[in-house]
Amino acid sequence: MARKPGSRAEITGPRLRDAALRLFARDGYAAVSMRQIAAEVGVQAGAIYLYTADKQTLLFELMQDHMDALLSAWADSTPPLGDARARLQHFARFHIRFHAARADAVFIAYMELRNLTPENFATVEALRKRYETELETILRAGQDEGTLAVPDTKLAAMALIAMLTGVNTWFRDGGRLSRDRVEQIYVDMVLKAAGARA
Amino acid sequence: MARKPGSRAEITGPRLRDAALRLFARDGYAAVSMRQIAAEVGVQAGAIYLYTADKQTLLFELMQDHMDALLSAWADSTPPLGDARARLQHFARFHIRFHAARADAVFIAYMELRNLTPENFATVEALRKRYETELETILRAGQDEGTLAVPDTKLAAMALIAMLTGVNTWFRDGGRLSRDRVEQIYVDMVLKAAGARA
DNA sequence: ATTGTCACTGAACGCTCGTTCAGTTCAACC
DNA sequence: GGTTGAACTGAACGAGCGTTCAGTGACAAT
């Protein structure tokens, strides 16, 4: 039977995700124990298994949810109808904003890939690839229509994503540069690296 | 007393470094046990402690050695005497070549930073910062002399290094693109991103 | 008041971890 | 050929790991 709001079950589930996300991001999957996660939620270790099959599944679902959120946010982002140069600018802006808002999940999603079982890795990797292809499609269109100039679209897609995702390794709110300023600079560098006409 | 060449001591030491490097890179520091490393060297776990104080020190020394090698290779690389644009091209080429030759050490040096004790982290971080400053100096010079155009030299240095180091996450010899071709494309993108005159 | 359900506890399982150390082996020296 | 000393073994230490599960207690439904 369904419990009333405020009963424990409706709190522990989401809190487990949050705690695992934060701890995995801070200390790494292998270094965080189920007992630590449980303590963070305010529960004994055994209780966790009411909400996840095992530690591996917990990690996998965090990563899968992140990638799903990324792809569906991109799908909802209504790119401009203009040329590929404008769409590349839109992509760069979207990428930085989305990733800045979820630093923990981003960090996990590419630091903990090697801790996934082969099956889980393949699933997450496929989602990552789909996102990469979105950028590559823009680059190829720009190459074709002449608004962008990249020697190799596949390689450029990976290089640009690496550069953009790199923001997360150093950016902190309240630093020397504002979030908007950083975004502006990165977008500018991406456009130049992709050979966009000035 | 010194042993003759061929005795065991002169083999186990270097082999330990190699094994630890390979295993840490493949499975991650936290996931590799001292027993696994020992087995890879062909020795019992206890014997490792004749060559390193503990697991943490082993990781730290691998990272420190890598950063030392990077900085001294850069110091020996005799950059061109020309303008900053030429020096940036030299830096990009150097970075890609050095990193391509040591994929394992590179991977460890930035994936395992969080597994260092605070003191060890500070030491390695300082070395990393010194390398970053080398690039920033070039960018600032280019900005001053007008051969490069970057809105913020500190930020650009981090972004360009992130892009360049990203090669290692996907490049494998024998793939679609040759090592030289990849190097050429990346150097080209770095120059464009830094606003070099064509 | 009784029953049923469900979140959760707390102890236990077998296992692996990093590290230590008394003992063994063996090449090099006198 | 006896002594030395370094390289290495193998067993042990205490601790922590992921996971299981019988039991507890609070609440909802009857």
- Interface confidence, given as ipTM, is 0.89
Separation of alpha carbons A138 and A81, rounded Å? 12
A39 touches strand D (CB under 7 A): no
Confidence (pLDDT) at A1: 34
Rama region for B4: left / alpha / beta (φ>0; ψ in -120 to 50; rest):
beta
CA distance linking residue B158 with residue A190, whole number of Å: 14
Is there a contact between A85 and A196 (Cβ–Cβ < 8 Å)? yes
Q: Is the per-residue pLDDT at B99 higher than 60?
A: yes
Q: Is residue B38 over pLDDT 50?
A: yes
Partner-chain contact A185 B156, CB within 8 Å: yes
Q: Measure A101 CA to nearest chain B CA, in Å.
A: 19
Protein CA A76 to sugar C1' D18 (Å) = 40
Residues of chain B positioned with their CB less than 8 A from the CB of A139: none
B33 CB contact with strand D at below 7 Å: no
Tens-digit pLDDT profile for chain A (198 aa)? 333 434 455 667 889 999 999 999 999 999 999 999 999 999 999 999 999 999 999 999 999 999 999 999 999 999 999 999 999 999 999 999 999 999 999 999 989 999 999 999 999 999 999 999 999 999 999 999 999 999 999 999 999 999 999 999 999 999 999 999 999 999 999 999 999 976
Mutate which of A106, A155, A171 to disrupt the B interface (most B C-beta within 10 Å)?
A: A155
Query: How is chain B split into domains, by residue range?
Result: 1-52, 53-193
Per-residue pLDDT at B9: 54
**Is strand D less than 7 A from the beta carbon of A31?**
no
> Is B163 in Cβ contact with A165 (below 8 Å)?
no
Tell me the C-alpha distance between A190 and B20, whole Å.
37
The top-level CATH class assigned to B53-193 is: mainly alpha
Burial class (CB in 10 A: 0-12, 13-18, 19+), A131: middle
Distance (Å, rounded) from C-alpha A161 to C-alpha A142?
A: 17
Residues 43-102 of A with CB under 8 A from B: none
Buried b (16+ CB within 10 A) or exposed e, B124-146: beebbeebbebbbebbbbbbeee
CB-based contact, B115 to chain A, within 8 Å: yes
How much is the pLDDT for B14? 87
Chain A contact for B113 (CB, 8 A cutoff): no
If you search the block for the tokens 């995995």, which residue do you land on?
A: A24
Q: Which helix (H) or strand (E) holds B90?
A: helix B84-100
Res. B4: pLDDT tops 50: no
**A170 with B160: Cβ contact below 8 A:** no
Q: What is the pLDDT of residue B1?
A: 34
pLDDT of B8 reads 53
pLDDT at B3: 37
**Closest alpha carbon within chain B to A161:** B163
Residues of A in contact with B169 (CB under 8 A): 158, 162
**Strand C and B1 CB separated by under 7 Å:** yes
- Mean pLDDT of the B133-159 span: 97
Asked if residue A50 keeps its beta carbon closer than 7 A to nucleic acid strand C, the reply is: yes
Alpha helices (H) in B102-117, listed in sequence order: 103-111
Q: How far apart (Å, rounded) are the C-alpha atoms in residues A113 and A126? A: 12
Nucleic strand C within 7 A of Cβ B176: no
Give distance CA A56 / C1' D23 (Å).
28
* pLDDT (mean) for B86-90: 98
Q: Which CATH class is domain A54-193?
A: mainly alpha
Domain B1-52 superfamily per CATH: Homeodomain-like (1.10.10.60)
Q: CA angle B179-B180-B186, nearest 5°?
A: 90
Whole-Å CA distances, A2 to A9, A48, A83? 10, 20, 52
Which of B29, B56, B163, B197 to mutate to probe the A interface, most A CBs <10 Å? Answer: B163
Mean pLDDT of B152-174: 96
